[in-house]
Structure 1
Amino acid sequence: MTIQVRKLFKEVWSNLYRHKFTYYSRAVLLQLVMTSLGVGLMKLVFQFILLTSGQENLTKDSLFSMLVNPVSLALIVLFILVMAGLIFFEFSVLTLMVYGSYQEDYFSWKSLLKNAWLSFRKLNWRQFPVFLLYLISMVPVANLGLSSILTENLFIPKFISGELTKTSLGAVAYPLALLFFSYINLRLLFTLPLTVTNDLTIWDNIKRSWKLTRKGKFKLGLVWGSFELIFTFLTLLLLTFLLIIMVLLDPQGSNLLYETIFFTGLKVLIFFFSLLSKLSIVAIMVRIIMEEKELSASILAHEKEEPKKSKVLSLLITLALLLSLVNNSLILFTVDLNPNSLTIGHRGYVSKGVENSLEGLEGAAKEGVDYVEMDILLTKDHKFVVMHDYNLKRLVGLDKQVADMTFDEVVGLPISQDGHKSKLPSFEEFVQKAKELKVKLLVELKPHGSEPDNYVDLFIAEMRRLGVDRDYKVMSLDLKVMEAIEEKAPEMDTGYVIPLQFGDFAKNKVDFFVIEDFSYNDGLVAQAQKEKKEVFVWTINEEDQMVKYLEKPVTGIITDYPNLVKKEKQELKEKNTYFDKLLRQLVTSLK
């Protein structure tokens, strides 16, 4: 791959500038098709999968049941095939739209569908696993800017990345893994565009992309990065200009009509430049593909088609704009601080002490938290200690399992983290300290697999002995343990921790659910409220995410930084005009 930076930049810039409105109109229609018909079709297949497997949702617990059910397994394959077909269609549209613009040619939607089908047919039973692995490899680095509408929101959940980086090995290995996947993605960048433009299979195009990017990677990155910088600068410049106009027209920020119109304009602007960002890399690749003559005979022989002015397209774009105006108006009018939202310190307050330590508990109490989340494990002699990890190596430096040690051997061990030092407390010590500080606990049970048959009875007896069975909330990743506690001690407030979920909550016999940000959607809260159950989200550490959930009807937010939640709550109370709400929504959109 030979790249002349100046020439390539000039050609791509000229192409994007001359065809910007064509790109925008067709991209709007593509977005509508993918997010309505495409996503709707995938949801329909997903519901069939749940129905045939007798499940209410997809979690780590229900996945096995689906995989061993032949009908569900076949539907899972169909689901992936549908997603693959939609992705091929999307990239066929983008690639051929750009190729046609370079050639002053035009590809009708009929031609685009035909080419997408021809590309999709390359996915035989041998090529399909290759394509699936290719998609999976794109997730860790958020697709490096070349994401499908269907996959752009896929990422590694924070509860996984967060835990990985808490160990010394993970803090080094995780960034290195991201660099590795970034490199792989860069080398395989041409895979989908090549599959659209030539007659080779996915596997052959993976090899072809690897060969193409053997040289010229730095120059490719330089051209691509230049466009990203320009679009970022222009976006920020125009956003600033529009915000100044808004302030002049509505200095109090209290006119809903003005703010809705400007909010919609800002979102259109952001969409336009994010589209140009994606198109810039597609345009760069298509230009290189053309120079490398990686074009099939059918594309080269494409008969020129005349673009038709479509009233349907104009109507759809107008309708989308009107719907956006109505939706934005509802957002600004209805979004507000949830005054009942609870703040829960995750393992205490880790900025003031070691996680799950008495000092961390005290630091969280001083910040005025409603609850402190903490973890307990059972020792070899069937007593409870406060510890998250099954192994003591990370905090104690001792490579031993808590399950293999007695209560006396574990309690009092020195623990250290991020410059803080403390001693490993017993559950009773932690409860007594919490009582002194007048802060309630959210107790997470961490079954390690070596517990006795009467594990649940031991826990209930301990909670009753300490006199907190009616005051504290209890939760676990182990649903059976929670449902057993609910049955034997109905006075206790029980919760099920769900790290990853797709679909509705199941009819579990618990009082609340704890879900990760990755799995959250408003429909889950609506369902829980209908069933008179609570919903907590974890672990919310970024300020824009705090604002998001403080304006959601969730019961509470579990966070490592209760001080920031406290600050954001206060700001939401003081800054509550439509303009303030607009700015908060804008920040979230840019993340």
Structure 2
Amino acid sequence: MPTDTARAPRPGLWSEYRLLLRGGWGLVRAAGARLAALILVTHLIVLGVALPVLGWLFREALRANGMSGLDLGQLRAGGGLTLSIALIVGIIALAFWLISLQFTAFVALLHRPGISGRELLGEFGRMTRKLLRPSSVPLLLYLFLLLPLTGFGFTSAFTRGIAIPSFISGELLKSASNGAALVLVILLLVLLNIRLSLTVPVFVLTSGGKSARASWRLTRGLRASVPLVLAIATVLVFGAVVAFAVVVAAIVPTALTDLLAPEASPLVAAYSLGAAQVVGLLLSGLVTSLVAAVLIVRVRRGEDRLPAGVQMLPGEGSAPETAARAPRPPRPPRPGGSRRTAAAVAVVAVVLALGFGTASIGTLQRLSNAPDTLVLAHRGFSDGGVENTLSGLEAAASAGADLVEMDVMQTKDGGFVAMHDATLDRLAGRPEAVRDLTVAELSGIAVRDLEGHEDRIPSFADYVTRADELGMPLLIEIKLGGADTPDHVERLVAELERLDALESNIYHSLDAASVARLKQLRPDLTVGYTMAFAGAGVPDTPADFIVVEEWTATEQMQRAAWGSGLGFMVWTVNEDAGMHEHLRRDTDGIITDHPDRALGIRDEMQQETGLSGVLVDAVTRFVTVV
């Protein structure tokens, strides 16, 4: 009589971790040159075709609402808005379809290294039909929300820019309670993403739906999730180490020519950058493929735990990715096919490197110019005093900031104070709002920050007077706090004229009506329009410059602003990488909480000789793996 056989013992955490890495690497090696070809082809399609087409569709969607660029502050209701929303929904659907097909190509090739071109087209057709089912809706939310925000799993150029804007996270972190809540939310998102990290490979590799449910089941418990997290972390660390090596290798030739033959540095730097761009594309694709391969191995190893009705499609394998069954035998490669593919990939890579390098010659020469970007201290200098207080202003002046950006808000009695928040809870621990108190009442209230600094809310007059004594010009932001009178701009102008400070400062606001009114009253003043979110083109504004939040302050937006005769400033730039980028781009002004660091980087750039420093910043922008 047949007897029940004992189930094979499950491997420990470290054994499972090694199996995932070894199995994933085996799948990537089996794909070989075909994988490298797929990486180059998909990157060229995405960067050269898909993203430009999506950008064009987005601009058309904005034009349907009478806008030349995305400006959330000036969206108008009506038929145009309905058409714009419909076009944007269509863009999201198209991007979702393209991302899904991109992932399908990678997963299909890794799952079946010997798949033919006709079979791959068949997979695209199958996935297209599957995406039309209601069961694909969770995949849409996963790809466009959860995955980009946490970065654990597949990556794509379509979603790489999706993140929590720094101005939102930065403001939340200035409050202990809000900062703790933000950290908790991020941790929950990370944990949720770990549990759903197998959603994409399950969706592609199975004939049924329920991909999110299947991922949740396959990652249940520490024995399943910890090895997966460690394996993917190992892949990312490997990618970061290789990326660092690529950057060093790209810099060395230019550093040598800077010392020995400076006249050759422009060409050497340009073609080093071109080569680094191509290597960066391949490296990014390799890391993505390794992550995908690890996820595929994990799905294979949990095939017996898939929900009812979800069945794995036939695949191939050449690595011991399971402990209980033998791997599927790989399809024998066609004679000479791998060599021809590898040779074609090498030729394309060399051509791309030469093309990128030639296109970079002028860019590197432009970037080598010493920047004259203005450094503006955001609400003063928070390392030396509470924001929007006299101590913060004085600290910014001591640090050497070119200007101080500050906020002005109207009070209950129609006066003005230097204040950013509409309420006093964050800085003063009080429930009142600015609109409910007079200037006299507000200017006696103590405020303190998380750094332990303490001061008092200053009246606007006291702040402007002290700035004049310090010789510090201001970028004054007109804030709306709820008590704003219909003539609040006129009253502000009158206050500044009384202080003899109207023409010695510049202005900006998120409120388009305030910007227009100020320019109408005093066309000679320098006024900016601040945008929390921008895209596609510059807004229709009477302002002299725009102030764009760092998340959307792209180089394309900067060129568009300059082409329209507008100045271009960016806020709030607090990371060294962002400072380097905008100083190299010679952005008109960067608003930062750390003016001392920005000034130090600017001084280094103004004193540097040769192109190696420029090349470091350029290469690090392209050679990224996460």
Question: Do these two structures clear the TM 0.5 threshold for a shared fold by scoring above it?
Answer: yes
Higher mean C-alpha displacement, 320-329 vs 303-312: 303-312
CA distance in 2, matches of 1:374, 1:11: 56
Q: 2:424 aligns with which of 392, 395, 412?
A: 392
Distance 1:383 1:338, change over 3 A: farther
1:413 matches 2:445: yes
Distance 1:400 1:263, change over 3 A: same
Aligned to 2:24: 12
CA distance in 2, matches of 1:319, 1:66: 49
CA distance in 1, matches of 2:420, 2:138: 38
8 Å CA contact retained: 1:89, 1:113: no
8 Å CA contact retained: 2:150, 2:190: no
Q: CA deviation at 1:420?
A: 0.9
Aligned to 1:572: 605
Aligned to 1:380: 412
8 Å CA contact retained: 2:379, 2:388: yes
Question: What are the ranges of 5 or more consecutive residues in structure 1 without an aligned counterpart?
Answer: none
2:219 partner amino acid: T
Secondary structure of residue in 2 paired with 1:181 = helix
Aligned residue runs from structure 1 range 510-529, under 5 A: 510-529=543-562
Aligned to 2:398: 366
1:539 partner amino acid: T
Aligned to 2:48: 36
Question: Higher relative contact order by CA 8 Å / sep ≥ 6: 1 or 2?
Answer: 2
Distance 1:495 1:367, change over 3 A: same
Q: CA deviation at 1:317?
A: 4.2
Secondary structure of residue in 2 paired with 1:372 = strand
Aligned to 2:72: 60
CA distance in 1, matches of 2:133, 2:87: 16
CA distance in 1, matches of 2:168, 2:261: 40
Secondary structure of residue in 2 paired with 1:122 = helix
1:120 matches 2:128: yes
Q: CA deviation at 1:413?
A: 1.2
8 Å CA contact retained: 1:34, 1:149: yes
CA distance in 2, matches of 1:4, 1:533: 57
8 Å CA contact retained: 1:88, 1:116: no
Q: 1:581 aligns with which of 611, 614, 623?
A: 614
CA distance in 2, matches of 1:66, 1:40: 28
8 Å CA contact retained: 2:71, 2:539: no
Q: 1:107 aligns with which of 103, 116, 139?
A: 116
1:175 matches 2:208: no
CA distance in 2, matches of 1:297, 1:229: 31
Distance 1:46 1:590, change over 3 A: same
1:289-336 superposed Cα distances (whole Å, 9 cap, x missing partner): 334446555879999996695798777545422221213333322213
Aligned to 1:492: 525
2:290 partner amino acid: S
**CA RMSD after TM alignment:** 2.8
1:262 partner amino acid: S
Secondary structure of residue in 2 paired with 1:131 = helix
1:149 partner amino acid: A
Aligned to 2:215: 209
Distance 1:492 1:267, change over 3 A: same
CA distance in 2, matches of 1:175, 1:340: 37
CA distance in 2, matches of 1:379, 1:535: 31
Aligned to 1:286: 296
1:349-390 superposed Cα distances (whole Å, 9 cap, x missing partner): 111111111111111112222211000111100000011111
Distance 1:312 1:487, change over 3 A: farther
1:56-111 superposed Cα distances (whole Å, 9 cap, x missing partner): 2223235564897443332222111110110011101110111122xxx1231x54
Aligned to 1:438: 471
Question: What are the ranges of 5 or more consecutive residues in structure 2 without an aligned counterpart?
Answer: 1-9, 304-309, 317-327
Higher mean C-alpha displacement, 523-532 vs 540-549: 523-532
8 Å CA contact retained: 2:381, 2:387: yes
CA distance in 2, matches of 1:296, 1:6: 23
Aligned to 1:468: 501
8 Å CA contact retained: 1:253, 1:259: no
2:492 partner amino acid: F
**Paired residue total:** 585
CA distance in 2, matches of 1:314, 1:429: 67
Higher mean C-alpha displacement, 436-445 vs 1-10: 1-10
2:606 partner amino acid: K
8 Å CA contact retained: 2:65, 2:80: no
1:146 matches 2:154: yes
8 Å CA contact retained: 1:29, 1:313: no
Distance 1:413 1:89, change over 3 A: same
Aligned to 2:574: 541
8 Å CA contact retained: 2:417, 2:459: yes
1:173-223 superposed Cα distances (whole Å, 9 cap, x missing partner): 11111111111111111111211121223xx11111111111310111222
